[in-house]
Amino acid sequence: MTAGTAPRATVASPASGASRLRGDIEGLRAIAVLMVLAFHVGLPGAGGGFAGVDVFFVISGYLITSQLVREARRDGRVSLPRFYARRARRLLPAATLVLVVTTLAGWVLLPRGRHADLGTEVLAATGYVVNWLLAWREVDYLAEDQDPSLVQHYWSLSVEEQFYVVWPLLIIAVLWLVRRHRLRLLPTLTLALTVVVVASLTWSVVRTASSPGEAYFATTTRVWQLGVGALLVLLTSRLERLPQTVRAVLAVAGVAGIVLTLVAVDTGTPWPGTAAALPTLATAAVIAAGIHPDGTAVGRALGAAPLRLVGGLSYGLYLWHWPLLRLLAERVPESGLGLRLGVALLAAVLAWLTLHLVENPLRYSSALNRSARPALLAGAAAMGTSAALAGALVVSAPSLQLADGATTQGPVGALALVAPASRDTPDLELVDDLEAVTARVDQPVPDPAVADQDISLAYRAGCQVTTSGTELRSDDACTFGDPEGDTEVAVVGDSKMEQWSSALHAIGQQEGWRVRFYTKSACGFVAQGRSPECHDYNTMLAQRLGQPEHAPDLVLTSVGQGYPEELAGSMVDLLRPALDEGAEVVLVADTPLPEPRGVAEGVSSFECLDQHRDDIAPCWSPAAPASGTRVLTEVAARLDAPVVELLPWVCPAPDRLGGCAPVVGGVVVNRQGSHLTATYVRSLTPVLHHELARLGVATTPVEDIGWELPQDPATDR
């Protein structure tokens, strides 16, 4: 949402060229920014406040198009340098100031592990493409529990700026066609824009249904809302002739539609899609009703002085409120409504100061208004400043350094837990001095600040199907272990199975296994209780594994949280085709979610370690069962299949130690959620291999299993 990113609400009739100040549009801006502010503050009854974004899209489309069409009719051309110079003077001073302040604040106040992400986000915001970064993250399963960016609100500026790049070019193309083929400008432009609006709306509906998180941020699913505002300009001559009664009804209905959106919609509503038509058309109705010079009673109410004041501050208020609220959440996670409202008031003060000390002085500077060149150069300098600061943040951020099996001195990670005398026996035993193993915390690997980057081999290789994906990869697309091996192993399920890829790759090399990964994000191998995409993907995968030419010798699967025992039958049904072709099934128990005892709820284990490097006692977690194991145990009982339980090597002797250690053998145990770091999984490789051998699944004798840390394999596949 970009409150006030368009010029002041001074519009012109394409037919007459006369301009006037639209107080009702300033009032709409005020309503829109207050909606968003109420939503972000958490005001009760404002569940649909995020739709203030949609209101602003329509306003921006209308105001910008009014400028461009007036220029096209007056001069027969559109000057791109002048247009972009106006945009630079209007947008960049405040946007750059907030980006710079936010970057510096994040540098000081955020955990070091988030500096690189913040720097990347600020770079994307500077280039007005942060919406695509956020859309990509919405389909990136590893970003599912990532805290909202301090500059996430710049996504809608990005949408608008991308529209501002393309829309003048489209008008220029239409002008060329008009001159070449002697067409009428407004009808031709209306037809071109209508095609764009219909195409974008159709794509918005389709994409919202299949990938709502991505659709929310994507430009292609939002252009139709700006286009609706633009169409109002092209239809001005007709809208000016509307009877007063019709205009009054439109204005009342429009305001009612915006209010209804605020109170009736919430974050559970798929958005934008068809639902976004309500605030979009409601805003268009209010604007259309006010096109006639006489206006309406509703329009005059919207143009009241208090609303015009808030509307004038809306851009700065929007820019400032979000990073302030996010930093408050970082420092005071349990902040109440009163404190959040206080922060919103501070944002209003900063918006007023920004408007009068930064925005207006630069916007109306005679030096920057003499021609387009000075404004464009100043804009480039402003963008360069925020980009340079963001780049410095990225460069200074900690980087991921992994343990090297060839140079590691002594056993690390889970290797340090295993009593050497038990390695050649059927039953592994813990070392006596567990306290020493869990006390190696001086320089844990990976650095806790970036432990969430220590992701699994298969994920790094791009082998995990996204949450919205349904396409089966070829058998050879993601094969690890020994590509020429005689044993075919199919790894199916969600990321809790995929996290073992580094270990399975090393085991497969020694066993002669072709280990093929068919995992999908947030999609355990069940046929019900998950998303439609998960159901379709698993159904197709089960059919493939039941075909003789694709049938594996061994199927490995696991599930994470959120899978009740009632889904056991569903998993059995999907495994049946492979079983009928002679496959053996082995279930790998779930790993628990660490919940550090001495920090605020929601702080991850690795974040706690980064915050408490001198004393990690607050980062220990109480022992808790891994919820996914329940359904796996039920499946095992129905199929008489073995379950490999590695919990003793993930959370060793919790009764004896008083909980689960966040660092074992000098290795950070967990990364995102309940997932294990890839380094810790590598250290578990001999343990997993030993358990598979003990069950008779692996053929290597237990005495021949290597007990060193496997190398981190290359992933340039």
What is the mean predicted confidence (pLDDT) over 683-688? Answer: 95
Q: CA-to-CA distance for 570 and 635, rounded, in angstroms?
A: 9
Which residue has 């205009």 as its token pair?
247
Q: CA-to-CA distance for 334 and 515, rounded, in angstroms?
A: 46
CB burial class (10 A; 0-12, 13-18, 19+) of residue 386?
A: buried
Q: What is the pLDDT of residue 143?
A: 44
Q: What is the pLDDT of residue 136?
A: 84
Which domains, and CATH codes, for the chain?
A: 10-396 (no CATH), 413-469+477-704 (3.40.50.1110)
**N- to C-terminal Cα separation, the chain:** 40
Strand partners, 479: 516
* Cβ neighbours of 401 (radius 10 Å): 13
* DSSP code at position 669: -
Label residue 430 left, alpha or beta by phi (over 0 means left) and psi (-120 to 50 means alpha): beta
Lowest mean pLDDT among 65-69, 398-402, 407-411, 657-661: 407-411
* DSSP code at position 670: B
Instruction: With cut-offs at 50, 70 and 90, classify the pLDDT of residue 358.
Output: very high
Instruction: With cut-offs at 50, 70 and 90, classify the pLDDT of residue 324.
Output: very high
Q: CA-to-CA distance for 365 and 361, rounded, in angstroms?
A: 6
Residue of 528, 526, 532, 645 whose CA lies nearest to 575: 526
pLDDT tens sequence across 501-554: 999 999 999 999 999 999 998 899 998 777 888 999 999 999 999 999 999 999
- Encoded amino acid at 467, one letter: T
What is the mean predicted confidence (pLDDT) over 116-131? Answer: 94
DSSP, residue by residue, 443-512: S-BS-GGGGGG---HHHHTT-SBPTT--PPPPTTTTEEE-TT-SEEEEEEESHHHHTTHHHHHHHHHHHT
Lowest mean pLDDT among 8-22, 197-211, 404-418, 499-513: 8-22
What is the mean predicted confidence (pLDDT) over 653-675? Answer: 91
Question: 10-12 and 19-21 as β-strands: parallel, antiparallel, unpaired?
Answer: antiparallel
**pLDDT averaged over every residue in the chain:** 88
* DSSP code at position 514: E
Judged against a pLDDT cut of 50, whether residue 269 lies above it is answered with yes
18 phi, psi to nearest 5 deg: -70, 145
DSSP, residue by residue, 218-267: -STTTHHHHHHHHHHHHTHHHHTTS-HHHHHHHHHHHHHHHHHHHHH--T
Which residue has 């006639």 as its token pair?
292
Q: What is the pLDDT of residue 408?
A: 57
User: What are the structure tokens assigned to 450, written together?
Assistant: 């970036």
Judged against a pLDDT cut of 50, whether residue 16 lies above it is answered with no
What is the mean predicted confidence (pLDDT) over 361-377? Answer: 88
Instruction: With cut-offs at 50, 70 and 90, classify the pLDDT of residue 9.
Output: low
Q: CA-to-CA distance for 662 and 412, rounded, in angstroms?
A: 14
Judged against a pLDDT cut of 60, whether residue 407 lies above it is answered with no
Q: What is the pLDDT of residue 402?
A: 67
pLDDT tens sequence across 605-634: 888 898 888 889 999 999 888 888 899 999
pLDDT tens sequence across 185-244: 888 888 999 999 999 999 999 999 888 888 999 999 999 999 999 999 989 888 988 999
User: What are the structure tokens assigned to 641, written together?
Assistant: 């299949």
Residue of 65, 17, 716, 707 whose CA lies nearest to 431: 707
* Percent with pLDDT over 70 in the chain: 94
* Percent with pLDDT over 90 in the chain: 60
Q: What is the pLDDT of residue 712?
A: 78
- Evaluate whether 499 touches 670 at the Cβ level (below 8 Å): no
Q: CA-to-CA distance for 234 and 62, rounded, in angstroms?
A: 9
pLDDT tens sequence across 556-606: 999 988 888 889 999 999 999 999 999 999 999 999 999 898 787 778 888
Helix (H), strand (E), coil (C) string for 56-96:
HHHHHHHHHHHHHHHHHHHHCCCCHHHHHHHHHHHHHHHHH
Lowest mean pLDDT among 86-100, 281-295, 362-376: 362-376
- Give the number of C-alpha atoms closer than 13 A to the C-alpha of residue 616, restricted to the C-beta side: 26
- Evaluate whether 464 touches 498 at the Cβ level (below 8 Å): yes
Instruction: With cut-offs at 50, 70 and 90, classify the pLDDT of residue 383.
Output: very high
What is the mean predicted confidence (pLDDT) over 172-188? Answer: 85
Judged against a pLDDT cut of 90, whether residue 137 lies above it is answered with no
Helix (H), strand (E), coil (C) string for 325-383:
HHHHHHHCCCCCHHHHHHHHHHHHHHHHHHHHHHHHHHHCCHHHHCCHHHHHHHHHHHH
What is the mean predicted confidence (pLDDT) over 453-477? Answer: 84
Selected residue with higher pLDDT from 476 and 686: 686
